[in-house]
């Protein structure tokens, strides 16, 4: 498997995710009855097929992400898991029990919504305690649980404040505390960080991942943000048009995208149309050697911008002579656009290369990903 080389913003976050994983024992507080399974779930709204035979198996204590563009069905699936929406067909299991027909209030599942949905007239303490009070918990138990979550999420000093006195990140932590105080088997997160600015969002992503590791609970996150999915997830499912296109670890899905949609949606990718040839493929750039033979006669190979080598001398294999047309500075690296193509190359080391200059590109066989035939 390749060494992970995500987009610049993603690379920084991935390193943070690795540090968090080293700090926390991944099996800490892990129980054996918190996994969730969706089997053959279908849902239509009028003529729109929102979910088309979706099957997922989320392991106990796993941080799982549903990733996809707007309208792909990820939020609909989350609402069905939560009991806020009924599936047309299919089953939902949690902890080995069929919960398909259970109302939301009877499921050991809690949801953190994008809007946070805090009660403006209640203090932070009372917001967190609200669910326990509505379920008639004893006052001593409510106090114990609320104070524990306040401390865990660094909110103790804000317990008597009201939501309008908090920042976006603080409100997000209150919403998390309110969901976690019920001690659900599964916590659902419906794009809870989308309203935060970029810097705060990155910090909250790390905090959320750290919290999940500490609790050992099953978290299911819905997002369209690729960086968020890569930072937070043990595994992720990429969705499109009501179907799961690919499911796996962030590293595996990024390094080995199944088709052109996954390759372009999860990071940047150069997609190269080609025809099968002995030992490789024939492209508009010429022959490119591959490590294995594609199953199709005509198709597409992909290569990430950061996997392309750039230099002044012709490489031994898979060299392309190209001309730089544009340079984009991205802080930690540079994007170079080149013709023929256009091809996109990402490099962290920058030698002065002006637009118009000709260079050699190396598309190493091990870096070229054969995509599935999408016409089948």
Q: Are residues 236 and 116 in the same domain?
A: yes
φ, ψ of residue 272 to 5 degrees: the values are -120, 110
Task: Give pLDDT, residue 194.
Answer: 79
Range of the domain at 335: 269-371
Q: Are residues 179 and 248 in the same domain?
A: yes
Task: Give pLDDT, residue 29.
Answer: 40
Q: Are residues 113 and 221 in the same domain?
A: yes
The answer to whether residue 59 is domain-embedded is: yes
Q: Are residues 94 and 119 in the same domain?
A: yes
Cα 304 to Cα 306: distance, rounded to the nearest angstrom = 5
The answer to whether residue 311 is domain-embedded is: yes
Q: Are residues 73 and 149 in the same domain?
A: yes
User: Could you report the average pLDDT of every consecutive run of 10 residues in the chain (376 residues)?
Assistant: 44 36 36 74 96 97 97 97 97 94 92 87 96 92 95 92 91 90 92 80 86 92 94 97 98 97 95 96 95 95 96 94 92 90 85 85 97 72
Q: Are residues 237 and 324 in the same domain?
A: no
Q: Are residues 239 and 305 in the same domain?
A: no
Task: Give pLDDT, residue 156.
Answer: 94
The answer to whether residue 262 is domain-embedded is: no
Q: Are residues 178 and 295 in the same domain?
A: no
The answer to whether residue 52 is domain-embedded is: yes
The answer to whether residue 240 is domain-embedded is: yes
Last-in-domain residue among 215, 232, 255: 255
| Token pair listed for 313 | 């001398």
CATH (domain of 339): 2.40.50.100
Task: Give pLDDT, residue 351.
Answer: 66
The answer to whether residue 6 is domain-embedded is: no
Structural domain count of the chain:
2
Task: Give pLDDT, residue 354.
Answer: 83
Cα 369 to Cα 253: distance, rounded to the nearest angstrom = 11
Task: Give pLDDT, residue 201.
Answer: 82
Q: Are residues 242 and 365 in the same domain?
A: no
The answer to whether residue 17 is domain-embedded is: no
Q: Are residues 40 and 127 in the same domain?
A: yes
The answer to whether residue 19 is domain-embedded is: no
Q: Are residues 277 and 240 in the same domain?
A: no
Q: Are residues 65 and 107 in the same domain?
A: yes
Last-in-domain residue among 200, 231, 255: 255
Last-in-domain residue among 228, 255, 282: 255
CATH (domain of 224): 3.40.50.300
């Amino acid at each position: 498997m390749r060494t992970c080389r995500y987009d610049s913003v993603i690379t920084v976050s991935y390193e943070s995710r690795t540090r968090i994983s080293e700090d926390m024992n991944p099996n800490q507080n892990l129980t054996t009855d918190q996994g969730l399974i969706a089997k053959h779930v279908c849902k239509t709204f009028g003529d729109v097929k929102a979910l088309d035979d979706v099957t997922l198996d989320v392991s106990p204590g796993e941080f799982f992400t549903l990733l996809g563009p707007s309208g792909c069905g990820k939020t609909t699936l989350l609402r069905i898991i939560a009991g806020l929406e009924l599936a047309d067909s299919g089953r939902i299991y949690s902890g080995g029990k069929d919960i398909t027909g259970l109302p939301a209030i009877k499921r050991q599942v809690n949801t953190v919504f994008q809007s946070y949905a805090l009660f403006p007239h209640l203090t932070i303490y009372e917001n967190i305690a609200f669910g326990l009070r509505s379920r008639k918990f004893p006052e001593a138990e409510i106090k114990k649980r609320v104070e524990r979550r306040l401390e865990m999420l660094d909110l103790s000093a804000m317990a008597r404040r009201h939501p309008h006195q908090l920042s976006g990140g603080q409100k997000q932590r209150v919403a998390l505390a309110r969901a976690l105080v019920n001690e659900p088997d599964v916590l659902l997160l419906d794009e809870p960080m989308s309203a935060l600015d970029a810097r705060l969002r990155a910090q909250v992503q790390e905090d959320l991942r750290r919290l999940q590791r500490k609790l050992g609970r099953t978290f299911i996150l819905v997002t369209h943000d690729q960086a968020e999915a890569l930072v937070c997830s043990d595994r992720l499912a990429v969705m499109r048009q009501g179907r799961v296109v690919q499911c796996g670890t962030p590293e595996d899905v990024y390094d080995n995208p199944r088709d052109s949609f996954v390759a372009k949606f999860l990071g940047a990718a150069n997609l190269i149309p080609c025809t099968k040839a002995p030992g490789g493929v024939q492209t508009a750039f010429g022959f490119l050697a591959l490590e294995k033979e594609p199953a199709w006669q005509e198709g597409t190979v992909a290569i990430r911008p950061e996997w392309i080598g750039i230099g002044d001398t012709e490489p031994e294999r898979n060299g392309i002579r190209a001309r730089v047309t544009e340079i984009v500075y991205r802080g930690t690296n540079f994007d170079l656009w080149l013709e023929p193509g256009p091809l996109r190359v990402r490099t962290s080391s920058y030698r002065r290369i002006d637009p118009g200059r000709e260079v050699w590109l190396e598309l190493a066989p091990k870096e070229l990903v054969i995509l599935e035939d999408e016409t089948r």
